[in-house]
């Protein structure tokens, strides 16, 4: 147990801060790529730590080329884990699917082949995107895209059709200024989609007057035995509904006022 909370640098003895190092050794590792590094020359005079490279330092002890490869390597490892390791957090969405997502043999066996086909990772915010969401990780079906753009391609995204347009729930929320949770809750409660994405929410915070008595929403909730959120929802703007069709007139000759025969 002690090995999990004590810095893994020998003879240190301080508590772990991150990556198995104490705060001092972690800061040295993060800046210089070596937890035991002491004073280093300024970055503009440093060289890449890869033997035989000699290029100017860029970050974490690497030149820009080797730093990009280091970032790409982590994405490559994560790709293989979620496809082949059942203990991986996302395995059930990739390798554990009914039709499993796999990595082609060329990429699975060689990181260099992966870099040759995909190129370096543009920024830390980029992730691997499969063009065909049901396809495998292979050349021609993968590219680097920003993480925010990849979130739009998830299978669990909710699409809403309103005003003759179909788009993501997040897009409706951004367009209308209404929180996505509010729009979704309205639809679950039977609102028309047009009203759910158009009508601004009514936030009632002041006291309520009823039958000549004025008190707070919380006091009314305690008195009638409901939650405050229920009262808030009851004060929501009414939902426009189409009027029911008129009842058709009975077919047949009119009945006179006389007695029936």
| pLDDT tens, residue by residue, 40-71 | 555 555 777 667 777 777 765 667 766 666 67
Task: Please list, in sequence order, all residues whose beta carbon lies within 8 angstroms of the beta carbon of residue 60, skipping any fewer than 6 positions away.
Answer: 30, 31, 32, 33, 67, 70
State the burial class of residue 253 (Cβ atoms within 10 Å of its Cβ: 0-12, 13-18, 19+).
exposed
Nearest one of 27, 141, 148, 125 to 71, comparing CA atoms = 125
Helix (H) or strand (E) holding 167: strand 165-168
C-beta of residue 79 within 8 angstroms of C-beta of residue 72: no
Query: Residue 103's beta-bridge partner residues?
Result: 137
Residue 1 confidence (pLDDT)? 42
Domain boundaries, the chain: 1-40, 42-152, 159-196
Residue 79's nearest CA partner among 117, 49, 50 is: 117
| Averaged pLDDT of the chain | 78
Tell me which residue of 56, 3, 78, 62 sits closest to 30, measured CA to CA: 62
The mean per-residue pLDDT over the stretch 25-49 comes to 68
Burial class (CB in 10 A: 0-12, 13-18, 19+), 171: middle
Instruction: For residue 39, name the pLDDT band (cuts at 50, 70, 90).
Output: very low
CB 137 within 8 A of CB 83: yes
pLDDT in the model for residue 142? 92
Give the residue, 166 or 45, on which the prediction is more confident. Answer: 166
With cut-offs at 50, 70 and 90, classify the pLDDT of residue 170.
confident
- pLDDT for 224 equals 86
pTM of the full structure: 0.46
**What is the rounded distance in angstroms from the CA atom of residue 62 to the CA atom of residue 30?**
12
Give the model's pLDDT for residue 3: 44
């Amino acid at each position: 147990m002690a090995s999990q909370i004590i810095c893994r640098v020998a003879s240190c003895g301080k508590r772990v801060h991150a990556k198995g190092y104490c705060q001092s050794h972690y800061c040295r590792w993060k800046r210089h790529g070596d937890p035991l590094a002491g004073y280093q020359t300024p970055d503009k005079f440093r060289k890449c730590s890869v033997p035989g490279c000699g290029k100017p330092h860029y970050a974490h002890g690497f030149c820009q080329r080797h730093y990009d490869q280091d970032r790409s390597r982590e994405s490559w490892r994560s790709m293989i884990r979620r496809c082949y390791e059942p203990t991986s957090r996302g395995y059930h969405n990739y390798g554990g699917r009914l039709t499993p997502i796999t990595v082609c043999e060329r990429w699975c066996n060689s990181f260099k082949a992966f870099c040759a086909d995909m190129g370096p990772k543009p920024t830390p915010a980029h992730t691997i995107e499969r063009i065909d969401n049901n396809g495998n990780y292979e050349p021609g079906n993968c590219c680097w895209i920003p993480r925010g753009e990849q979130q739009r391609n998830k299978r669990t995204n909710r699409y809403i059709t309103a005003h003759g347009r179909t788009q993501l729930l997040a897009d409706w929320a951004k367009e209308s200024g209404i929180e996505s949770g509010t729009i979704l809750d309205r639809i679950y409660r039977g609102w028309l989609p047009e009203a759910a994405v158009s009508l601004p929410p009514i936030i009632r915070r002041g006291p309520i007057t009823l039958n000549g008595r004025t008190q707070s929403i919380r006091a009314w909730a305690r008195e009638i035995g409901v939650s405050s959120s229920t009262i808030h929802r009851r004060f929501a703007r009414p939902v426009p509904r189409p009027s029911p069709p008129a009842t058709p007139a009975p077919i047949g000759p009119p009945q006179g006022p006389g007695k029936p025969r």
